[in-house]
Amino acid sequence: MKVHGGLYLITDQKLIPRERFAETVEAAVRGGASILQLREKDTPHDEVIVLGKKLLGITRRYGIPLIINDSPELAAEIGADGVHLGEGDAGISHARSVLGEGAIIGVSCYGKMERGLEALAWGADYVAFGTPYNTPTKPGRTPTPFEVLREAAARIKGIPVFAIGGITAENAEDVLDTGVSGIAVITSVFGAADPEKAVRELCLIAEKYAKAGDGDR
């Protein structure tokens, strides 16, 4: 599978009741997300495997990639489409050796342009910059200036550039105006009363910008 722009959906165990995990995530995916990441920082390994396999069934039905946060080995065990790497995680070359050439490898760049350019050079399939706004997922983190998002969108060509952090339906257009390929969200969907409706609203905004920028990447 190939990653495009659009709406990148990321799970959060604090926001999704375990007894309704798969049901809630499927409702959000049904709303039109283009990619899904399972992000379970503090969940036991065996439980993550179970959750991952459930989500893999959902993403296969809807034809979108499933990405696992942090661990290429965990992604391989689940049979996911790829892995998302942050600072302190395995490098891109190691992830490729574990998952294969066809795997999707994404990289968190925070507000660091050098990290984004390095990820591009090493063959990342997408990069993510943020946070543009304060977010409960990353408390205390200084927001990434919009100038960094604009520079990333201008300099990192050939792969999608996502913005992540505090993005809502109210501010998504301001973020997409920087030229990034898409937006990644957690709280604005899984903290909403109706995740499917929240995704549909965000997708309408993202799709408008995707159509305007087709062919730029």
Mean pLDDT by 10 residues, the chain (217 residues): 93 91 97 96 92 97 97 97 94 97 97 97 97 81 93 97 97 97 97 97 92 48
Looking up tokens 């050939």, which residue turns up? 158
Residue 96 lies in a domain: yes
What's the pLDDT at 42?
86
Residue 24 lies in a domain: yes
Q: Which domain holds residue 22?
A: 6-213
Residue 1 lies in a domain: no
- Distance separating alpha carbons of residues 53 and 114, to the nearest angstrom: 35
- The torsion of the CA quartet 95, 97, 123, 67, rounded to 10 degrees, works out to -40
State the pTM of this model.
0.94
Question: How many domains does the chain contain in total?
Answer: 1
Residue 104 lies in a domain: yes
Closest CA relative to residue 62, chosen from 131, 149, 125, 1: 1
User: Are 90 and 108 a contacting pair, CB within 8 Å?
Assistant: no
- Distance separating alpha carbons of residues 130 and 169, to the nearest angstrom: 17
As annotated, the active-site residues are 39, 108, 138
Residue 51 lies in a domain: yes
Q: What is the CATH number of the domain that holds 85?
A: 3.20.20.70
Q: What is the C-alpha radius of gyration for the chain, rounded to an integer number of angstroms?
A: 16
